[in-house]
């Protein structure tokens, strides 16, 4: 009797993993991408190695700079 109950519990657990594990992974990935977009990602200035927010950074030739002086812009 105890063996039947244990086997039933294992079967229910395997069914749960099979159907719900993949949807949970997708949900975690979606939430992670939202967190990165909402937060401030820090980037390093290529000239002086100062870390600044990606929103405040100046992008020149695909590189991040903290100021016009570092980017050598007029």
Q: How many domains does the chain have?
A: 2
| pLDDT tens column, 1-26 | 889 999 999 999 888 877 776 666 66
| pLDDT tens column, 29-57 | 666 555 554 557 888 999 999 999 888 88
Residues 33 and 46 reside in one and the same domain: no
- pLDDT at site 9: 93
Residues 5 and 24 reside in one and the same domain: yes
Residues 52 and 72 reside in one and the same domain: yes
Domain interval for residue 26: 1-39
Q: What is the mean pLDDT of the chain?
A: 80
In degrees, rounded to 5, the angle at the alpha carbon of residue 41 between the alpha carbons of residues 40 and 42 is 115
pTM attached to this predicted model: 0.47
Partners of 53 in the β-ladder: 42
Residues 32 and 49 reside in one and the same domain: no
Residues 27 and 1 reside in one and the same domain: yes
């Amino acid at each position: 009797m105890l063996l039947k109950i244990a086997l039933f519990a294992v079967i229910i657990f395997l069914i749960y993993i099979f159907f719900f594990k993949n949807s949970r992974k997708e949900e975690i990935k979606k939430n992670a991408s939202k967190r990165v977009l909402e937060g401030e990602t820090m980037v390093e200035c290529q000239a002086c190695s100062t870390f600044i927010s990606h929103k405040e950074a100046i992008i020149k030739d695909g590189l991040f700079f903290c100021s016009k002086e570092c980017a050598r812009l007029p």
